Chain A
Amino acid sequence: AQSVTQLGSHVSVSEGALVLLRCNYSSSVPPYLFWYVQYPNQGLQLLLKYTTGATLVKGINGFEAEFKKSETSFHLTKPSAHMSDAAEYFCAVSLSNAGKSTFGDGTTLTVKP
Chain B
Amino acid sequence: DAGVIQSPRHEVTEMGQEVTLRCKPISGHNSLFWYRQTMMRGLELLIYFNNNVPIDDSGMPEDRFSAKMPNASFSTLKIQPSEPRDSAVYFCASSLAIHRGVGTEAFFGQGTRLTVV
- Interface residues of chain A, those whose CB is within 8 Å of chain B, are 32, 34, 36, 41-46, 49, 51-52, 90, 94, 96-106
Contacts and interface: CB of A to CB of B under 8 A. Distances in A.
Dominant secondary structure of chain A at its interface with chain B: loop
B97 to A, nearest CB: 4
A98 B104 contact: yes
Most A-side CB within 10 Å, residue of B43, B45, B104: B43
Given A42-B110, A100-B31, A103-B42, 18 more contacts: A34-B105, A43-B91, A43-B108, A43-B109, A44-B93, A45-B108, A46-B106, A46-B107, A49-B105, A51-B103, A97-B97, A97-B103, A98-B106, A99-B32, A99-B48, A99-B93, A101-B45, A101-B106
Contacts of B32: 99
Interface in B1-59: 4, 31-33, 42-43, 45, 48, 50, 55-56
24 contacts: A42-B110, A42-B111, A43-B4, A43-B91, A43-B111, A44-B106, A44-B108, A46-B106, A51-B102, A96-B97, A97-B31, A97-B48, A97-B50, A97-B103, A97-B104, A98-B95, A98-B104, A98-B105, A99-B31, A99-B48, A99-B106, A100-B31, A100-B45, A105-B42
Contacts of B43: 44, 90, 103, 106
Contacts of A103: 42-43
Report, as a range, how many residues of chain B touch the other chain: 20 to 34
Contacts of A36: 108
Dominant secondary structure of chain B at its interface with chain A: strand
Nearest to A94: B103
A50 to B, nearest CB: 8
B109 to A, nearest CB: 5
